[in-house]
């Protein structure tokens, strides 16, 4: 008579192995995590249903382009493009435009500590035909600012230093002929300048002798950037049942399908697509069946031996 401890131990080990192995086939059969996560849209304040090519909030980095990572804090949506932080005022999925205003301007500050230009990103973010530039000069001579239409001086305090600022909404000063030459030489002695895009429609609100308040008002209306983020690849991907994303390792578009990422579209199964649960159960039951039959075979062999 053999002691009963061996079969008991055998069945116990088999049971543990079964849990692990059959459990893992179950996980494999589940929808890919990236597919699930990138199918989610998020809301932030008044901006609803943010999806590809943006990431942020509940959308992990791999769901969007690395330069289009949004940050939602206190119901304010923000994006940082080349070191400058902007408040997102709107996202238009049809025209693929992003309306943004510089965060410092949105907070009524036209004299920020860091003077940085707004920069576009070739092949990703570009200005639209509605954008115009305003040039803001800093640290100008305190005396002798000439007056020209659509231009004005304003007081500034940066790094605890009082200074004179000057802005002009005129894109080509030369158009004002000789009356602009004084201004051109005055502005040449300002230490810094930045170009800030504004909407052409907002420019109309500035009077010919504008105030600092008027300037801030139009800056707060923001401007548009149009994005180009492999939109046709994304459409192909979505049409095949996938979710659009971006692989930062390969720096390429990625199409996340139910059973894993693909380059551009999800493979279409040749037979009628089975429901997710039906697809799952055979692998689970065949796994269990395999263990039981192996167990029974061994048990029978042991007994006959």
Taking the least distance from each CB to ligand NAG, the nearer of 14 and 236 is 236
Is residue 86 classed exposed, middle or buried when 0-12, 13-18 and 19+ CB atoms within 10 A define those classes? buried
Gap between the Cα atoms of 63 and 59, Å rounded: 6
Per CB under 6 A, residues contacting ligand NAG are: 41, 49, 51-52, 62, 65, 93, 113-117, 122-124, 126-129, 131-133, 158-159, 172, 174-175, 192-195, 197, 229-230, 234, 244, 246-247, 249-254, 261
Quick one: which of 230, 206, 255 has its CA closest to 39? Answer: 255
- CB proximity list for 291: less than 8 A, separation 6 or greater: 14, 17, 18, 21, 22
Least spacing, CB of residue 301 vs ligand NAG, in Å: 43
Compare residues 195 and 299 and give the one whose CB is closer to ligand NAG: 195
Cβ at position 206, least distance to ligand NAG in Å: 16
Measured from the CB of residue 305, what is the shortest distance to ligand NAG in angstroms?
48
Taking CB atoms within 8 Å and a gap of at least 24, the contacts of 290-295 are 291/14, 291/17, 291/18, 291/21, 291/22, 294/14, 295/10, 295/11, 295/14
Q: Smallest gap, in angstroms, from Cβ of residue 286 to ligand NAG?
A: 28
Closer to ligand NAG by Cβ: residue 145 or 180? 180
Q: Quick one: 232 or 301, whose CB is closer to ligand NAG?
A: 232
How many CB atoms are located within 10 Å of the residue 156 CB? 20
Cα–Cα dist 63/49, whole Å: 14
Say if CB 25 and CB 284 are below 8 A apart: yes
Between residues 192 and 299, which has the closer beta carbon with respect to ligand NAG?
192
Residue closer to ligand NAG by CB (options 113, 277) is: 113
- Please report how close the Cβ of residue 16 comes to ligand NAG at its closest, in angstroms: 30
Q: Give the nearest distance from C-beta 50 to ligand NAG in angstroms.
A: 7
């Amino acid at each position: 008579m053999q002691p009963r401890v061996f079969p008991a131990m055998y069945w116990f080990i088999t049971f543990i192995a079964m849990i692990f192995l059959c459990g893992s086939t179950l996980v494999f059969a589940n929808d890919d995590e990236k597919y699930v996560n990138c199918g989610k849209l998020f809301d932030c304040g008044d901006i609803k249903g943010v999806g590809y090519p943006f990431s942020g909030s509940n959308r992990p980095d791999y769901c969007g382009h690395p330069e289009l990572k949004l940050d939602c804090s206190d119901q304010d949506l923000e994006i940082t493009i080349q070191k400058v932080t902007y408040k997102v005022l709107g996202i238009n999925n049809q025209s693929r435009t992003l309306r943004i205003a510089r965060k410092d301007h949105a907070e009524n500050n036209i004299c920020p500590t860091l003077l940085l230009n707004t920069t576009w990103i070739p092949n990703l973010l570009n200005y639209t035909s509605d954008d115009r530039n305003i040039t803001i000069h800093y640290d100008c001579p305190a005396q002798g600012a000439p007056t020209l239409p659509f231009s004005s001086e304003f007081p500034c305090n940066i790094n605890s230093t009082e200074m004179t600022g000057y802005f002009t909404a005129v894109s080509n000063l030369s158009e004002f002929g000789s009356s602009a030459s004084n201004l051109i030489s005055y502005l040449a002695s300002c230490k810094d300048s930045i170009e800030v895009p504004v909407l052409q429609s907002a420019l109309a609100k500035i009077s010919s002798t504008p105030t600092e308040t008027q300037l801030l008002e139009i800056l707060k209306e923001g401007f548009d950037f149009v994005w180009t983020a492999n939109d046709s690849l994304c459409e192909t991907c979505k049409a095949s049942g996938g979710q659009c994303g971006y692989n930062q390792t390969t720096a390429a578009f990625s199409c996340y399908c139910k059973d894993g990422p693909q380059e551009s579209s999800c493979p279409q199964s040749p037979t009628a697509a089975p429901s997710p649960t039906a697809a799952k159960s055979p692998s689970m039951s065949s796994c269990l069946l395999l263990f039981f039959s192996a167990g029974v075979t061994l048990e029978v062999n042991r007994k006959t031996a």
